[in-house]
Amino acid sequence: MADPERHPFLQGLSKHRGAPPTVVVIFGASGDLTARKLIPAIYNLSFDNLLPADFHLIGYGRKPIPDEEFRSIASAAIKDYSRRELDAEVWGRVAANTSYVSGGYDEKAGFDRLAAKIFSIEKTIGSEAQSLFYISTPPSVFGPIIQNLGASGLGSRYVGKAHHSKVIIEKPFGRDLDSARALNAELRSVFEENQVYRIDHYLGKETVQDLLVQRFANSIFEPLWNRNYIDNVQITVAEDQGVGTRAGYYEQSGCLRDMIQNHTSQLLALTSMEPPGSFDAEALRDEKVKVLKAIEPIGLGQGGDACRAQYAEGMTAGKSVPGYLQEAGIAPNSSTETFAAIRLFINNWRWQGVPFYLRSGKRLPRRVSEIAVQFKKPPGTIFPQKEGFNLAANTLSFQIQPDEGLSMILNAKIPGLETRTQPVKMSFRYATTFGSNTPEAYERLVLDAMIGDGTLFIRGDEAETSWKLYTPLLDFWRSEGRTGMGGYAAGSWGPVCADELLSAHGHAWRKP
């Protein structure tokens, strides 16, 4: 089908990236993620003709839901959340092969019913089909689902063939090093590592992948990408929303677990890793693990490398909003941080002595994620240090969201009859160059898992390496309770302690 929104630059992209007949099973199919992201992703893959000819979708959950009702729920989700309007013909193709199996997550009989359903689909299409199990439930049932995929034999089907069973597992992947190790051990008791796709949807974002292209397909950056030219790197993942209706989840999580350990650290790894030998899953993930292992332990306590805080009441988008402790469902003495900033040093030849500053928080002035690479200032300047000679450090920034793109701050001469200078911004914006209707992260990730490409997923050792870095800090903060917890007004860029992490090295946060 022709897509009128398709930008000329997108014409000719490969179709059918080679997925075999596939049955996608979503555990937790009545949930929020399924409605907001997974069903729209499958619909848009169908729209782009990227699903295999024999594609089947099965929802699984405890609530008994008739097939027809599940199809209506799914079409409503597309209307509400898809980046494209619901097209009856496109959805009809998927809906014809969509069904629902109800059962408990710890109930073997439910998985036997699921297996029978999958066998009957294979019989109908007349060939073997890979099963892609998407675990989209709260983490408390990850374990029972994995065990029952093992007990029912579904997890080990076609091992040794390209279309072996695969499992996608949602975040959070553990809540500290011990629980991540335990979850990995549970997965390994049923699956081989190449069957497991641990998702961090940040890796499915266009600009995150563009970071790899910018770094490794342009020769101008690599010679400068080191301690000789780079002064510091600042990674910001900011949310403007408060905790909203997710108090129960957030109280158990906090900013470090929710954002820094996964999304922000993935951005750090991709920015700082060595060039991989090839663009394949193992080469890329080897380099990410290597650089994560080279990060020095985080200094704890007063004068250390970390700062945490909770938002207090303030103003966002012209409205007055309550502080975290006043939000519904939050304990009045909660010690859950809604903001965290960390200073990291990577102990290798490329990065020795270059601070990497990470920050993330709720109720910041706007929703924005960016990586800003600040270069060193020239060793001296021939231009006078006086009014009219405004000079800034060159900064290359990757804007991950929103308004995806890349910009570079350079110093330029102000036009006129005398020489005066001013920093200027050179920008590339995805929406302007390629059109604005780019695929959502989940489309890319579901497709990659279907075709067996693990490049944009987290490997087990990578998840553990990241938890190993942050677990001592989480333990320290837990032992401190509310001692040392900073505060910041909702709508501000965070607490004073975050500024102090940088000012100790003569730096300041850039305004994204």
Ligand X SMILES: NC(=O)c1ccc[n+]([C@@H]2O[C@H](COP(=O)([O-])OP(=O)(O)OC[C@H]3O[C@@H](n4cnc5c(N)ncnc54)[C@H](OP(=O)(O)O)[C@@H]3O)[C@@H](O)[C@H]2O)c1
Which residues are near ligand X by CB under 6 A?
Answer: 28, 30-34, 36, 61-63, 105, 136-141, 170-172
With contact defined as beta carbons under 8 Å apart, do 74 and 46 qualify? Answer: no
Please name the residues in contact with 80: beta carbons below 8 A apart, sequence gap of 6 or more.
Answer: 35
263 is annotated as an active-site residue: yes
- We find the least distance from the C-beta atom of residue 247 to ligand X, in angstroms, to be 13
Please name the residues in contact with 464: beta carbons below 8 A apart, sequence gap of 6 or more.
Answer: 177, 180, 181, 184
- We find the least distance from the C-beta atom of residue 138 to ligand X, in angstroms, to be 5
Kindly name the residue from 56, 263, 505, 507 that is annotated as catalytic. Answer: 263
DSSP element (H, E) containing 78: helix 67-81
Strand intervals (E) in 313-465: 314-316, 319-321, 339-344, 356-361, 368-375, 395-401, 405-413, 421-429
- We find the least distance from the C-beta atom of residue 250 to ligand X, in angstroms, to be 11
- We find the least distance from the C-beta atom of residue 484 to ligand X, in angstroms, to be 28
Backbone angles phi, psi at 126, to 5 degrees: 75, 20
With contact defined as beta carbons under 8 Å apart, do 99 and 67 qualify? Answer: yes
Query: How many CA atoms does the CB half-sphere of 237 hold within 13 Å?
Result: 22
Instruction: Please report, for the chain, how many H helices and E strands are present, in that order.
Output: 16, 17
- We find the least distance from the C-beta atom of residue 169 to ligand X, in angstroms, to be 8
- We find the least distance from the C-beta atom of residue 458 to ligand X, in angstroms, to be 13
- We find the least distance from the C-beta atom of residue 415 to ligand X, in angstroms, to be 48
Give residue 428's identity as a one-letter amino acid code.
Answer: F
Backbone angles phi, psi at 63, to 5 degrees: -70, 135
Cα first-last separation, the chain: 40
With contact defined as beta carbons under 8 Å apart, do 398 and 406 qualify? Answer: yes
Order of strands across the sheet that contains 230-238 = 421-429, 405-413, 395-401, 368-375, 230-238, 356-361, 339-344, 306-312, 486-489
Count other C-beta atoms under 10 Å from residue 300's C-beta.
17
With contact defined as beta carbons under 8 Å apart, do 485 and 338 qualify? Answer: no
Q: Which residue number, 145 or 372, has a Cβ lying nearer to ligand X?
A: 145
- We find the least distance from the C-beta atom of residue 103 to ligand X, in angstroms, to be 9
Give just the sign of the alpha carbon dihedral 341, 342, 343, 349: negative
With contact defined as beta carbons under 8 Å apart, do 28 and 34 qualify? Answer: yes
Please name the residues in contact with 436: beta carbons below 8 A apart, sequence gap of 6 or more.
Answer: 430
Give residue 96's identity as a one-letter amino acid code.
Answer: A
DSSP element (H, E) containing 231: strand 230-238
- We find the least distance from the C-beta atom of residue 441 to ligand X, in angstroms, to be 10
Write the secondary structure of 130-183 as one string of H (helix), E (strand) and C (coil).
EEEEEECCCHHHHHHHHHHHHHCCHHHCCCCCCCCCEEEECCCCCCCHHHHHHH
DSSP element (H, E) containing 100: strand 98-102
C-alpha pair distances (Å), 509 with each of 123, 186, 264, 372: 60, 41, 16, 10
Closest-by-Cβ residue to ligand X is 31
Please name the residues in contact with 218: beta carbons below 8 A apart, sequence gap of 6 or more.
Answer: none
- We find the least distance from the C-beta atom of residue 182 to ligand X, in angstroms, to be 16
Catalytic residue numbers, as ranges:
263
